[in-house]
Amino acid sequence: MNMTIQQNPFAEVPTNSGITEAATNFIETVTFAQIPDQALKIGIRCLLDGLGLYVAGSKHETASILAEMALDQGGSADALLLGANNVKVPSAIAARVLGTAGHAHDWDDSQVSVDPDHVYGLLTHPTIPPLTAALVMAQQLGPVSGKDFMLAFLTGFEVESKISEWMYSQHYKRGFHTSGTVGTFGAFAAAAKLLKLDGDKLRHGFGLAASFAAGIRCNFGTMTKPLHVGRASENGVTAALLAAKGFSADKQALDGPWGFFAVHGGGLTMQKTLLEGFGKPWSIVTPGVSIKPFPCGVLTHPTIDLMIKLVVANDIRPDDIESVTIYAGSNILNPIRYPIAKNHLEAKFSLQAVLSMVALSRQAGKLEFEDSFVQSAAMQAMQSRMKTQFDPEIEAQGFDKMRSTIKIVLTNGTTLSGDADDRYRGGPNYPLTDDEVKDKVRVCSQGTLTPSNLQALIENAESVLDLTDAGILARLIQAG
C-alpha cells in the first residue's frame, strides 16, 4: 500500500505503541503451517542463495581473519567454524564468521519496499542474519528438522524486514547501516524461535538486541562493512542465549522515547504498523525480495544492466570509448561514492568501477571484483574516462526507484545514451530464474567445493523441508 509519511525527526514513539509486544507474540506463536506456500518457495531460493554466498565468502580476507581469531579464542564446540574443516567454536563466534562471509561480496539479497518514504534499495539485506542464526543454533541444539529450521529462518526474516520497513528512512540517511542494526533483530528472532523462548525472555531478548545493534555507513567500501552483518548475526545469537539464561533488559525496547525506533530513526510509521503487522502480509512475498545478479551495491545494478545493453547492442570495444557520464540522483550518488576504486571493496560502491568492468569484460561478476582485475592498468585507465553527474530532473522524480542515465561518447564522435530500466533484474518484477539462482551458487562455489559437494549442497537446500537434521547444510558449505 502506498502512502505519504510525514517525518518528524524529533518525534517520540509512544510508550504504548505495542511494537515489542507484537514482535514477541509473533515469534512465540507463529507456526510452520501459517507460512504461505509462496513464502516457503521464495525462502528456499533465499536459502540456496545464502548458502552459496557463505561458500564464496569463506576464502575472503574478512572471513579468514575472523576465523583465525576464532581459533585463537577457542571455547565450547557448538557449531562449525567456516573455512576450518571440522573445527567447532561457540555459536555466537561461528555466527560472526559465517555472517561476515555471507556479506563479504555484497552479493546477498535486498529487501524491497514500495513506500515512497523509503530510499529504494536502502533497507536491509534480510537473509544472512537470520539464516546464520538458524544455521548455528541448529547445530548447537540439533538435530533440528528442515521445517523447524525454515520456520526459524523465515520468522527472523519477517521480524527484520518489518522493523526495517516501519522505521523512518532517516535511519539510513543519518548514516546507519540497516543490515548491521536491524539485522540484529532478524538473527535474534531466528535464534529465539529455535530456543523456544517465550514471554519475558523474548521481551528481554529484544532489549538486548536493541542495545547491541550497530553499524555506520562510513565503513562502506572497507572490510568493516561485511563485519556489520557478521556482528548482527553474532549479537542476535548472543541476545537469545543471554535471554534464555535469564539476563534482563528493558521489556519494551522497540517502543517509547528511548527505544530503538526513536533513538535510531526518529520514530516509526505508526500508520503502517496498524495496517500491516507481522506476517500480514509476509514481507518476503509482498513487497518481496531481490536476489542480486551482481556482487556489489544494489543501487548500481540497473546502471550495470544498461551499460551491458549499450555495449553489446553497439558492439563497443574498450578502445572505442572516449568518455562515459552517468547521471543519477543523490540516492545513488551519495552511497556509491568512490570515483576511482583502488580495490575490490571500493569497487562495490563505485559506478565508474562497475561500468569499467562492463566496458572491458561485458560483465561484472565475481572475477571482475578481484583485486587483480580492479587494480589492473586497464581498469584504472577506464575508470578515469568515466564520471558521475547529479541530475536534478532524476532527483525530482523521487527515490522510490533506482533511476539513472548513461551517455557514452565514442572516439569517432558518436554519442550513445539510454535510461536504466525500472524493472531491474533480480527484483520481484524481474526475478532471476531458479536456474539462474543455481548458476550463481555454482559461480560462488568455484575453486572451493568439489562438483559432488556442490551438487549435494544444491539438492539438500532444495529439499530442506524433508531434512531430519538441517545441520547438514553447515557441513556442506565447508571446502571440499
Q: Check whether 108 has a pLDDT greater than 70.
A: yes
Q: What is the 8-class DSSP label of residue 426?
A: T
| C-alpha of 371 from chain center | 22
DSSP string, 443-478: HHHTTTS-HHHHHHHHHHHHTGGG-S-TTHHHHHTS
Second-level CATH architecture of 298-419? 2-Layer Sandwich (3.30)
Class level of CATH domain 19-293+439-476: mainly alpha
pLDDT tens per residue, range 11-48: 556 666 889 999 999 999 999 999 999 999 999 999 99
Q: Give Dmax over CA atoms of the chain in angstroms.
A: 72
- Strand pairing report for 88-89 and 110-111: unpaired
Instruction: Delimit the CATH 1.10.4100.10 region(s) of the chain.
Output: 19-293+439-476
pLDDT at position 119: 64
Helix (H) or strand (E) holding 309, with range, is helix 301-313
pLDDT tens per residue, range 433-453: 999 999 999 999 999 999 999
- Report helix, strand or coil for 3: coil
Distance CA 248, CA 250 (A): 7
In the chain, what percentage of residues exceed pLDDT 70? 96
Omega prior to 281 cis, within 30 of 0? yes
Instruction: Note the pTM of the prediction, 2 decimals.
Output: 0.92
pLDDT classification of 272: cutoffs 50, 70, 90: confident
pLDDT at position 1: 34
What length does the chain have?
Answer: 480
Distance CA 200, CA 206 (A): 10
Instruction: Delimit the CATH 3.30.1330.120 region(s) of the chain.
Output: 298-419
In the block, which residue shows the cell 552459496?
A: 52
Q: What is the 8-class DSSP label of residue 9?
A: T
